[in-house]
Amino acid sequence: MSQGTLYAGDQTRCIFPRGLVKVLNLDIKVEATAENYEEIFPLKKYPAFVGPKGFKIHEVIAVVQYLISLNPSGAPLLGKNAKEYALILQWMSFGTTDFVDAVVKAFSPLIGKVPYNKKSCDEGYAQVEKYVELLEKRLRDFTYLVGERVTAADLFFATCFLRPFTYMYGADWRKKHPILMRWFTTVSQSPYLSWFTFELADKPTLPPKPQKKTKGKKHNQAPKKKAPKSEKKVVKVEKKVEEVPAEPKKPKHPLELLGCFAILLE
Protein backbone atom coordinates (compact mmCIF):
# COMPACT_ATOMS: atom_id res chain seq x y z
CA MET A 1 0.00 0.00 0.00
CA SER A 2 1.30 3.43 -0.96
CA GLN A 3 2.41 5.63 1.91
CA GLY A 4 1.10 8.75 0.22
CA THR A 5 2.03 11.62 -2.10
CA LEU A 6 4.61 14.32 -1.51
CA TYR A 7 3.97 17.58 -3.33
CA ALA A 8 7.38 19.13 -3.85
CA GLY A 9 9.07 20.84 -6.80
CA ASP A 10 12.42 22.58 -7.08
CA GLN A 11 11.71 25.03 -4.29
CA THR A 12 14.43 25.41 -1.68
CA ARG A 13 12.30 23.91 1.09
CA CYS A 14 11.53 20.85 -1.04
CA ILE A 15 15.07 19.60 -1.69
CA PHE A 16 15.58 17.81 1.62
CA PRO A 17 12.11 16.17 1.80
CA ARG A 18 12.60 14.77 -1.71
CA GLY A 19 15.99 13.46 -0.64
CA LEU A 20 14.36 11.66 2.30
CA VAL A 21 11.97 9.85 -0.04
CA LYS A 22 14.90 8.69 -2.19
CA VAL A 23 17.37 7.64 0.52
CA LEU A 24 14.85 6.07 2.92
CA ASN A 25 13.21 4.20 0.03
CA LEU A 26 9.75 5.40 0.97
CA ASP A 27 6.78 4.22 -1.07
CA ILE A 28 5.73 7.79 -1.74
CA LYS A 29 4.82 9.39 -5.04
CA VAL A 30 6.44 12.76 -5.64
CA GLU A 31 4.48 15.35 -7.61
CA ALA A 32 5.36 18.95 -8.35
CA THR A 33 1.74 20.01 -7.87
CA ALA A 34 -1.86 19.02 -8.64
CA GLU A 35 -4.72 20.58 -10.59
CA ASN A 36 -6.80 20.92 -7.44
CA TYR A 37 -3.84 21.74 -5.19
CA GLU A 38 -5.46 24.90 -3.87
CA GLU A 39 -8.49 22.87 -2.79
CA ILE A 40 -6.29 20.37 -0.96
CA PHE A 41 -3.97 23.00 0.55
CA PRO A 42 -5.60 26.46 0.51
CA LEU A 43 -2.36 28.12 1.67
CA LYS A 44 -0.63 26.75 -1.47
CA LYS A 45 2.57 25.99 0.45
CA TYR A 46 5.28 23.53 -0.55
CA PRO A 47 6.22 20.91 0.46
CA ALA A 48 3.02 19.23 1.51
CA PHE A 49 1.99 15.62 2.04
CA VAL A 50 -1.18 13.58 1.61
CA GLY A 51 -1.31 10.15 3.22
CA PRO A 52 -3.89 7.38 3.53
CA LYS A 53 -7.40 8.12 4.79
CA GLY A 54 -7.16 11.84 4.03
CA PHE A 55 -4.19 12.56 6.28
CA LYS A 56 -2.68 15.91 5.21
CA ILE A 57 0.23 18.03 6.47
CA HIS A 58 2.15 21.05 5.24
CA GLU A 59 5.08 23.16 6.55
CA VAL A 60 8.53 21.76 5.89
CA ILE A 61 9.44 20.88 9.49
CA ALA A 62 6.27 18.84 9.97
CA VAL A 63 6.72 17.11 6.60
CA VAL A 64 10.37 16.25 7.34
CA GLN A 65 9.56 14.81 10.76
CA TYR A 66 6.77 12.65 9.37
CA LEU A 67 8.81 11.31 6.46
CA ILE A 68 11.68 10.36 8.80
CA SER A 69 9.24 8.54 11.08
CA LEU A 70 8.21 6.24 8.21
CA ASN A 71 11.58 4.46 8.24
CA PRO A 72 13.44 3.64 11.51
CA SER A 73 16.80 3.98 9.74
CA GLY A 74 16.21 7.72 9.53
CA ALA A 75 15.84 8.17 13.28
CA PRO A 76 19.45 9.42 13.84
CA LEU A 77 18.59 12.46 11.71
CA LEU A 78 16.46 13.74 14.60
CA GLY A 79 19.18 13.40 17.26
CA LYS A 80 19.98 10.89 19.94
CA ASN A 81 18.10 12.51 22.82
CA ALA A 82 15.49 15.13 23.66
CA LYS A 83 18.03 17.97 23.88
CA GLU A 84 19.45 17.28 20.45
CA TYR A 85 15.95 16.93 19.04
CA ALA A 86 15.01 20.35 20.43
CA LEU A 87 18.18 21.93 18.98
CA ILE A 88 17.45 20.38 15.58
CA LEU A 89 13.99 21.90 15.59
CA GLN A 90 15.52 25.23 16.65
CA TRP A 91 17.94 25.36 13.71
CA MET A 92 15.32 24.22 11.20
CA SER A 93 12.83 26.80 12.45
CA PHE A 94 15.46 29.54 12.31
CA GLY A 95 16.45 28.51 8.78
CA THR A 96 12.94 28.39 7.31
CA THR A 97 11.89 31.72 8.82
CA ASP A 98 14.52 34.35 9.67
CA PHE A 99 17.26 33.15 7.35
CA VAL A 100 15.14 32.39 4.28
CA ASP A 101 13.15 35.61 4.73
CA ALA A 102 16.38 37.64 4.70
CA VAL A 103 17.62 35.76 1.63
CA VAL A 104 14.36 36.42 -0.25
CA LYS A 105 14.56 40.10 0.68
CA ALA A 106 18.06 40.31 -0.79
CA PHE A 107 17.88 38.20 -3.97
CA SER A 108 14.30 38.71 -5.19
CA PRO A 109 15.02 42.23 -6.51
CA LEU A 110 18.12 40.92 -8.30
CA ILE A 111 16.08 38.59 -10.50
CA GLY A 112 13.14 40.92 -11.00
CA LYS A 113 10.66 39.17 -8.75
CA VAL A 114 9.98 42.46 -7.01
CA PRO A 115 10.93 46.03 -8.00
CA TYR A 116 14.52 46.82 -7.08
CA ASN A 117 14.91 48.91 -3.96
CA LYS A 118 18.51 49.44 -2.91
CA LYS A 119 17.72 50.11 0.75
CA SER A 120 15.58 46.99 1.11
CA CYS A 121 18.09 44.83 -0.80
CA ASP A 122 21.00 46.08 1.33
CA GLU A 123 19.04 45.34 4.49
CA GLY A 124 18.50 41.76 3.28
CA TYR A 125 22.22 41.32 2.61
CA ALA A 126 23.10 42.72 6.04
CA GLN A 127 20.72 40.30 7.76
CA VAL A 128 22.12 37.31 5.87
CA GLU A 129 25.68 38.31 6.82
CA LYS A 130 24.60 38.57 10.45
CA TYR A 131 23.11 35.08 10.36
CA VAL A 132 26.20 33.66 8.63
CA GLU A 133 28.29 34.97 11.53
CA LEU A 134 25.97 33.14 13.93
CA LEU A 135 26.42 29.88 12.02
CA GLU A 136 30.19 30.26 11.88
CA LYS A 137 30.32 30.91 15.61
CA ARG A 138 28.93 27.41 16.13
CA LEU A 139 30.87 25.75 13.30
CA ARG A 140 34.21 27.20 14.37
CA ASP A 141 34.46 24.53 17.07
CA PHE A 142 32.02 21.87 15.81
CA THR A 143 31.64 19.96 12.58
CA TYR A 144 27.84 20.01 12.62
CA LEU A 145 25.11 22.24 13.96
CA VAL A 146 23.90 19.63 16.46
CA GLY A 147 25.82 16.69 17.93
CA GLU A 148 28.70 14.87 16.32
CA ARG A 149 27.02 13.66 13.16
CA VAL A 150 24.92 15.10 10.38
CA THR A 151 21.29 15.71 11.32
CA ALA A 152 18.17 17.13 9.77
CA ALA A 153 19.34 20.55 11.00
CA ASP A 154 22.43 20.47 8.77
CA LEU A 155 20.68 18.92 5.78
CA PHE A 156 17.87 21.43 5.77
CA PHE A 157 19.94 24.53 6.56
CA ALA A 158 22.42 23.69 3.79
CA THR A 159 19.59 23.87 1.25
CA CYS A 160 18.81 27.38 2.47
CA PHE A 161 22.07 28.49 0.83
CA LEU A 162 20.88 27.52 -2.65
CA ARG A 163 19.82 31.09 -3.57
CA PRO A 164 22.73 32.86 -1.84
CA PHE A 165 25.30 30.71 -3.65
CA THR A 166 23.64 30.99 -7.06
CA TYR A 167 22.69 34.70 -6.99
CA MET A 168 24.10 36.66 -4.07
CA TYR A 169 27.66 35.46 -3.45
CA GLY A 170 30.50 34.55 -5.76
CA ALA A 171 33.88 32.84 -5.45
CA ASP A 172 35.51 35.79 -3.66
CA TRP A 173 32.91 35.77 -0.90
CA ARG A 174 33.22 32.01 -0.42
CA LYS A 175 36.99 32.27 -0.05
CA LYS A 176 36.47 34.66 2.84
CA HIS A 177 34.23 32.14 4.65
CA PRO A 178 36.21 28.88 4.83
CA ILE A 179 34.45 27.71 8.00
CA LEU A 180 31.01 27.93 6.46
CA MET A 181 32.14 26.42 3.16
CA ARG A 182 33.82 23.47 4.88
CA TRP A 183 30.51 22.67 6.57
CA PHE A 184 28.45 23.25 3.42
CA THR A 185 30.72 21.05 1.27
CA THR A 186 30.60 18.22 3.83
CA VAL A 187 26.83 18.31 4.25
CA SER A 188 25.99 18.75 0.57
CA GLN A 189 27.86 15.51 -0.21
CA SER A 190 25.34 13.53 1.85
CA PRO A 191 23.10 11.31 -0.32
CA TYR A 192 20.12 13.22 1.05
CA LEU A 193 21.31 16.28 -0.91
CA SER A 194 23.85 15.13 -3.48
CA TRP A 195 21.09 14.05 -5.89
CA PHE A 196 20.23 17.75 -6.37
CA THR A 197 22.92 19.49 -8.38
CA PHE A 198 23.43 23.19 -8.96
CA GLU A 199 26.35 25.39 -9.95
CA LEU A 200 27.87 27.88 -7.55
CA ALA A 201 28.02 31.37 -9.00
CA ASP A 202 31.46 32.67 -9.91
CA LYS A 203 30.30 36.25 -9.49
CA PRO A 204 27.23 37.64 -7.73
CA THR A 205 24.26 38.89 -9.70
CA LEU A 206 24.44 42.65 -10.12
CA PRO A 207 21.49 44.92 -9.37
CA PRO A 208 19.43 45.95 -12.40
CA LYS A 209 20.45 49.23 -14.02
CA PRO A 210 17.97 52.05 -13.62
CA GLN A 211 16.14 52.97 -16.80
CA LYS A 212 17.10 56.35 -18.26
CA LYS A 213 14.29 58.82 -18.58
CA THR A 214 14.17 60.39 -22.05
CA LYS A 215 13.73 64.14 -22.09
CA GLY A 216 11.60 66.01 -24.59
CA LYS A 217 8.78 64.77 -26.70
CA LYS A 218 8.51 61.09 -27.34
CA HIS A 219 8.71 59.97 -30.96
CA ASN A 220 5.77 58.37 -32.69
CA GLN A 221 3.48 59.80 -30.12
CA ALA A 222 0.15 60.95 -31.40
CA PRO A 223 -0.54 64.62 -30.69
CA LYS A 224 -2.86 65.25 -27.89
CA LYS A 225 -6.28 66.31 -29.01
CA LYS A 226 -7.60 69.45 -27.50
CA ALA A 227 -10.80 69.03 -25.71
CA PRO A 228 -13.66 70.74 -27.56
CA LYS A 229 -14.61 74.02 -26.08
CA SER A 230 -17.88 73.93 -24.37
CA GLU A 231 -20.45 76.12 -26.06
CA LYS A 232 -21.49 78.92 -23.89
CA LYS A 233 -25.14 79.68 -24.01
CA VAL A 234 -25.79 83.36 -24.08
CA VAL A 235 -28.94 84.08 -22.26
CA LYS A 236 -30.38 87.45 -22.93
CA VAL A 237 -31.87 88.87 -19.88
CA GLU A 238 -34.38 91.42 -20.68
CA LYS A 239 -34.56 93.94 -17.98
CA LYS A 240 -37.96 95.27 -17.50
CA VAL A 241 -37.78 98.97 -17.03
CA GLU A 242 -40.55 100.09 -14.86
CA GLU A 243 -42.20 103.10 -16.36
CA VAL A 244 -42.31 105.93 -13.96
CA PRO A 245 -45.67 107.65 -14.22
CA ALA A 246 -45.37 111.18 -15.45
CA GLU A 247 -45.97 113.85 -12.93
CA PRO A 248 -49.38 115.40 -13.38
CA LYS A 249 -49.31 118.91 -14.74
CA LYS A 250 -49.91 121.63 -12.24
CA PRO A 251 -53.34 123.03 -12.57
CA LYS A 252 -53.49 126.51 -13.96
CA HIS A 253 -54.23 129.46 -11.78
CA PRO A 254 -57.91 129.78 -11.08
CA LEU A 255 -57.96 133.15 -12.81
CA GLU A 256 -56.30 131.61 -15.87
CA LEU A 257 -59.06 129.05 -16.04
CA LEU A 258 -61.56 131.84 -16.19
CA GLY A 259 -59.89 133.09 -19.32
CA CYS A 260 -61.61 136.01 -20.79
CA PHE A 261 -64.07 136.16 -17.94
CA ALA A 262 -61.21 137.26 -15.72
CA ILE A 263 -60.67 140.33 -17.83
CA LEU A 264 -64.27 141.33 -17.57
CA LEU A 265 -64.11 141.10 -13.83
CA GLU A 266 -61.23 143.54 -13.55
Q: Report the sign of the C-alpha dihedral through residues 177, 179, 185, 190, in that order.
A: negative
In whole angstroms, give the CA distance from residue 202 to residue 171: 5
For the chain, residues with pLDDT lower than 70 are: 211-266
Q: What's the pLDDT tens digit per position in 177-220? A: 999 999 999 999 999 999 999 899 999 999 887 766 655 555 55
pLDDT of residue 101: 96
CATH of domain 79-194: 1.20.1050.10
CATH of domain 4-74: 3.40.30.10
In whole angstroms, give the CA distance from residue 237 to residue 227: 30
Which residues sit opposite 28 in a β-bridge? Answer: 4
pLDDT of residue 223: 52
pTM: 0.78
